[in-house]
A and B are shown apart, each in its own frame.
Chain A
Amino acid sequence: MSTRTFGERVQRNNDERLLTGGGRYVDDIPLPGALHVAFVRSPYARAKILSMDTSLAKSRPGVVEVYTCNDIGALDTEMPLLIPHPSLHSPKTQRPLARDDVFYVGQTVAMVVAVDRYVAEDATRLVDIEYSEPQECNIEIEEAISDDAPRVHDDVPNNVAAHCIQVSGDPEEAFAKAEHFTKVKVRVDRSTAAPMECRAVAARFDSVSGELTIWDGTQAPISVRGGIASIFNLDEDKVRVIAPDVGGGFGQKVLLFYPDELLVPFAAMSLSRPVKYIEDRTENFLGSTQERTQIHEVELAANKDGVVLGLKDNFLHDTGAFIPYGIAVAQVASTAIMGPYRIPNSRVEYKAVYTPIVPVTPYRGCGRPHACFAIERAMDQLAEELGLDRFEVRRRNLIGDDEFPYERPNLLFADGLAVIYDSGQYSKALDMIIESINLEDFKAKQKLALDEGRYLGLGLSFYVEATGIGPYEGGHVKVHPITGKVYVNTGLTTQGQGHETVFAQIVADQLGVSPEDVILVEGDTGAFDWGVATYASRAAVVSGNAIHMAAEKARNIVLEAASNMLEASVDDLELQDGKVNVKGSDVSVGLAAVATACNPLRYAFNEAAQAATQFAPAARSDEPALGDGRAPGIETTEYYAPPHAAWAYGVHAAIVEVDPGLCSIDINRYICVHDCGNMINPTIVEGQVMGGVAQGMGGAFYERCEFDSEGNPRNANFMDFLVPYATEVPKVELHHIETPSPLNPLGVKGVGEAGTIPVAPVIASAIEDALKPLGVEKLHHVPLSPNSIYEALSVAREKNII
């Protein structure tokens, strides 16, 4: 049967293994005799290190070595700035182990290597680090940029790491012409990805072969490999980096390097023993990167009919104590701020600000949730000020179906490429959500509820997401000659998204095999070592298309070989059920046999191989075994480099009941219309969107990394950092639109981050709508909480309305 599996709800082929405990994470890699690492971390945000004494710790039985910056040779230098940018004028990156200064609570100061983690932790308490009095610090970005604010880095005035202005169109003219101006100031607070598996690194050095093998719970094994080879001055081929099963990444694991990623291999090489570092939850809060704090001041210049002519956004971006990933997050926010709206004139200016807390790198959404919150809250306010319907104001500004490709001239996205929206049906999405909400019915219910003293509200938010950015990824396809199974590799790696299934579907469709017979191996530089990493919702777009192209090429090889073998024209052949058939006949040859035949053999080890030896009757002895330009077997590699991002989008809405007595919320309905181009597998798309909404709920109402004024984390644990449980996440009603992307052969766009982006504005706008009769203040600061709702009702309380 030759059913196309692209677009089908093919069951995820890794679930049984993962759900029955068959996953193999870094900590599961058997490394006999491995040593274990624990870190001594800074207890202060900013302080000077006066002295370090490791002797007591070293004398503890079971401790093998204790390292400070003085013991790590050439590693004692700043780690790489991964993405430089002209606007990033004062980049600062961290040293693996602090020297002289500490910059945030949790920064690694010394590393203990011991026989097990228990002893290692005991010994961290025996390392004597003497600090100066903690220095003054300020974690509030608005204050940190003032002239007299304490500096995180002595040579960076005003704590400004980067300053960037992007202008498109003629904003000044737009503001001169407009009839109405709407201003909002919004704030999104710090959060963390909180992957189920924290980070983990293990390393083994083989002194005979000179090979260094690293198991790393990373999203970027090939990049880690390249970096390690360069930093340790090793031949790239002598370094193998494997990302085995990884339990969630959400961006936190795309950063390279974390101190442990360098120090663990270093210790393994110096001690000639395997070494493991398994980060625990506390360390994940203290030392693994976070995201989100931005403060936007957005101004819209509009006509009275609600059409927005221009936008100005001025925002501050908190980058924490260092900026290893450059300004990617801020840059994405600065280009996402116009959302799905035409807004032809814009001026966006931002500053990235150092604060003495754990550094910031992309976390699922990467600047988009902030931008979305800003523009969507502004659109709500514009509607309110003009006395227009929220849906209608949006409709009047949506980019029309016939306006694609829609370019925002002069803007550059985080990948340095143009901002060109490739395709979409924005108005259709709006129609679909209005229909699904049943707007008239809702308004009646809202009124009825109010009469009973209950507060129902409706919230909505659009979002756009630039997905599938470059530079490139590769796909490698090989048909196994004995089993006929197809092996596929790509350079990026999965943290649970379902690559094994969707990539198998893509290949299965080309080669006429079932997806179960396509075996994906990724995340191992020993298997395939060209590529970049998993980020920016790009795997399906970039690797997916590369794999598709490689599979097409393999299909052509199969057809050509089978046409020779079956003495039939290529046009008469079809690939089905793992065989090549001559259409309308029972003549066929199995894929394995074709693969074998494509590999001229000297030795016969089975019947199929006999048919492929040089002396087999079928073989021609008057020509070389391989024709000109031919490679043995059925094996192909292709690469795909997108011209620019493919823009996915969607609109979410929620109906929320607010209980003013408790200031708690109950989400009655959560509806989502989204478009990620052609869907390879709707089930997996839905899983991505729902997971995204769950994480978005965290950002809307629960998850906030709190610090006191001295930079000490206040809730670095799962009791106080509130990841929503299943009970806090609404049931999501999902509607799909499929507008193919014209940019790539499969017509796909990414969906990994989509669900996360618009949840905060949806919830804020719903709560505001619900409490409007009481006179609630604007909800412009997320995550919200019952406490913040309570505060937003203070005027109502003063007036004794409640």
Chain B
Amino acid sequence: MKPPIFEYFRPKSIEEAVSVRADHDYSAILAGGQSLIPTMNFRIANPTAIIDISRIDSLAEYRIDDSQIVIGAMVRQRDIELSDSVYKVHPLIRETLEHVAHVPIRCRGTVAGSLAHADAAAELPALLLVSNGCVVAHSASGARIIDANELFQFHMTTSLADNEIITEVRIPVMHDDAGWAFLEFTRRHGDYAVAGVAVILRFSEDGICEESSIASCGIGSRAVRLPEAEAVLLGKKLDSNIINEASQAGKEYVSAADDTHATTEFRQHVLSTILSRAINIAKSRARYGSE
């Protein structure tokens, strides 16, 4: 469990970082190291150059403006989790982060790093999806925005190019009348999700569901939105039949094969359970969810 030889770089600016990245065919960004270092020690990833971005000061900050939360690539998960200002405009973020690994790991792991790592069972990709967030990617030739629904391709694979670095994560603030919930099923406290769901719902004053956003992790090769389940809720009052119907619709998105933790069938069962529970919680938290 020792990595092969690699070169180590510690740039002081984004420009420097992207230029090192451009110079190496197989480089990896070192953020919190909580996923990169194990994959290197297992020799699953064998990058020849490591670009440590921890000394790029501008990446270590987050800010909130009128419409979005902007999280620099070196901001630790724990800082966002504990941030009251973030909680105020997007309470689902804290609830989701509480399910990511354990406190010591969140103290080092970054929000951007988790998204870049794109583990199919990681919670934060589902959060970005359900929130319609995006990341900003820099390369030597400039910056571009990648929307959540384009970012996650496959387990541990994103649409980020080899020469790009995520510099920011952007998450639109949540409407203050929205209801939200994150629920997951794991074998042990703090593990990756066997199945996880993130839900944001909004209702008209007479209790009709007007906005429904549902994402899930752990159920296939990447985090996904569950549009069929969302559609079941839209335009309806959410009684137990409707919620049950939505949770049944959600089941169809389970594509993971049997693994050591769950068979496909059991995963479907679990997904439908947490989905209906999460919808109920989100409904109860929404301003007009229970009329």
User: How many contacts A-B (CB < 8 Å)?
Assistant: 62
* Contact of B187 (CB < 8 Å), options: A117, A121, A702: A702
* Contact assessment for A787 and B189 in the assembled complex, using a CB-CB cutoff below 8 Å: no
* Contact assessment for A662 and B185 in the assembled complex, using a CB-CB cutoff below 8 Å: yes
Question: With A702-B187, A702-B188, A727-B188 as given contacts, are A122 and B4 in contact (CB-CB < 8 Å)?
Answer: yes
* Contact assessment for A727 and B185 in the assembled complex, using a CB-CB cutoff below 8 Å: no
* Contact assessment for A785 and B185 in the assembled complex, using a CB-CB cutoff below 8 Å: no
Residue A281 at the chain B interface, CB threshold 8 Å: yes
Question: With A661-B273, A715-B260 as given contacts, are A725 and B266 in contact (CB-CB < 8 Å)?
Answer: no
Chain B stretch 1-57: residues in CB contact (< 8 A) with chain A:
1-5, 42
* Contact assessment for A282 and B1 in the assembled complex, using a CB-CB cutoff below 8 Å: yes
Complex CA distance for A662 and B269, rounded to whole angstroms: 8
Q: Mark B93-128, 1 if CB is under 8 A from A, else 0.
A: 000000000000000000000000000000000000
* Contact assessment for A725 and B190 in the assembled complex, using a CB-CB cutoff below 8 Å: yes
Chain B stretch 179-193: residues in CB contact (< 8 A) with chain A:
185, 187-192
Question: With A118-B2, A728-B189, A785-B187 as given contacts, are A706 and B260 in contact (CB-CB < 8 Å)?
Answer: yes
Tell me the nearest residue of chain B to A118, going by C-beta: B2
Interface on chain B toward A: helix, strand, loop, or mixed SS? loop
Q: Mark B238-263, 1 if CB is under 8 A from A, else 0.
A: 00000000000000000000001111
Complex CA distance for A495 and B46, rounded to whole angstroms: 36
Residue A11 at the chain B interface, CB threshold 8 Å: no
Tell me the nearest residue of chain B to A790, going by C-beta: B266
* Contact assessment for B189 and A790 in the assembled complex, using a CB-CB cutoff below 8 Å: no
Q: Which residues of A contact B266 (CB under 8 A)?
A: 663, 786-787, 790-791
Residue B274 at the chain A interface, CB threshold 8 Å: yes
Q: Which residues of A contact B260 (CB under 8 A)?
A: 704, 706, 714-715, 720
Residue A724 at the chain B interface, CB threshold 8 Å: yes
Question: With A117-B2, A121-B2, A122-B4 as given contacts, are A787 and B261 in contact (CB-CB < 8 Å)?
Answer: yes
Complex CA distance for A769 and B225, rounded to whole angstroms: 39
Q: Which residues of B contact A100 (CB under 8 A)?
A: none
Q: Mark B137-154, 1 if CB is under 8 A from A, else 0.
A: 000000000000000000
Complex CA distance for A664 and B266, rounded to whole angstroms: 12
Report the minimum CB–CB distance from B127 to chain A (whole Å). 21
Complex CA distance for A786 and B185, rounded to whole angstroms: 10
* Contact assessment for B270 and A662 in the assembled complex, using a CB-CB cutoff below 8 Å: yes
Residue A280 at the chain B interface, CB threshold 8 Å: yes
* Contact assessment for B277 and A661 in the assembled complex, using a CB-CB cutoff below 8 Å: yes
Complex CA distance for A118 and B4, rounded to whole angstroms: 7
Complex CA distance for A702 and B191, rounded to whole angstroms: 13
Count how many chain A residues have C-beta atoms less than 8 Å from C-beta atoms of the other chain.
29
Q: Mark B256-285, 1 if CB is under 8 A from A, else 0.
A: 000011110110011001100100000000
* Contact assessment for B1 and A662 in the assembled complex, using a CB-CB cutoff below 8 Å: no
Q: Which residues of B contact A791 (CB under 8 A)?
A: 266
Complex CA distance for A326 and B185, rounded to whole angstroms: 42
Residue A418 at the chain B interface, CB threshold 8 Å: no
Tell me the nearest residue of chain A to B273, going by C-beta: A661
Complex CA distance for A613 and B3, rounded to whole angstroms: 64
Q: Which residues of B contact A725 (CB under 8 A)?
A: 188-190
Residue A722 at the chain B interface, CB threshold 8 Å: yes
Tell me the nearest residue of chain A to B195, going by C-beta: A662
Complex CA distance for A251 and B192, rounded to whole angstroms: 31
Chain A stretch 263-296: residues in CB contact (< 8 A) with chain B:
280-282
Tell me the nearest residue of chain A to B269, going by C-beta: A790
Q: Mark A690-706, 1 if CB is under 8 A from B, else 0.
A: 00000000000010101
Q: Which residues of B contact A117 (CB under 8 A)?
A: 2
Tell me the nearest residue of chain B to A802, going by C-beta: B269
Report the minimum CB–CB distance from B92 to chain A (whole Å). 21
Report the minimum CB–CB distance from B245 to chain A (whole Å). 17
Q: Mark B186-208, 1 if CB is under 8 A from A, else 0.
A: 01111110000000000000000
Q: Which residues of B contact A728 (CB under 8 A)?
A: 188-189
Tell me the nearest residue of chain A to B4, going by C-beta: A122
Report the minimum CB–CB distance from A717 to chain B (whole Å). 8
Complex CA distance for A662 and B196, rounded to whole angstroms: 12
Q: Which residues of B contact A727 (CB under 8 A)?
A: 188-190
Q: Which residues of B contact A661 (CB under 8 A)?
A: 273, 277
* Contact of A786 (CB < 8 Å), options: B3, B4, B42, B187: B187
* Contact assessment for A722 and B277 in the assembled complex, using a CB-CB cutoff below 8 Å: no
Report the minimum CB–CB distance from B243 to chain A (whole Å). 13
Report the minimum CB–CB distance from B128 to chain A (whole Å). 23
Complex CA distance for A662 and B186, rounded to whole angstroms: 10
Complex CA distance for A786 and B76, rounded to whole angstroms: 33
* Contact of A787 (CB < 8 Å), options: B188, B262, B273: B262
Q: List 14 A-B contacts (CB under 8 A).
A: A117-B2, A121-B1, A121-B2, A282-B1, A282-B42, A662-B185, A662-B270, A720-B260, A786-B187, A786-B262, A786-B266, A786-B270, A787-B261, A790-B266
| Additional A-B contact list (19), CB under 8 Å, known A663-B269, A728-B188 | A118-B2, A121-B4, A122-B4, A122-B5, A282-B1, A282-B42, A663-B270, A706-B260, A714-B260, A720-B261, A722-B187, A728-B189, A785-B187, A785-B261, A786-B270, A787-B263, A787-B266, A790-B266, A791-B266
- Interface positions of B (Cβ within 8 A of A): 1-5, 42, 185, 187-192, 260-263, 265-266, 269-270, 273-274, 277
The 6 A-B residue pairs with the shortest CB-CB distance in the complex, in nearest-first order: A727-B189, A661-B273, A280-B1, A118-B2, A787-B266, A790-B266
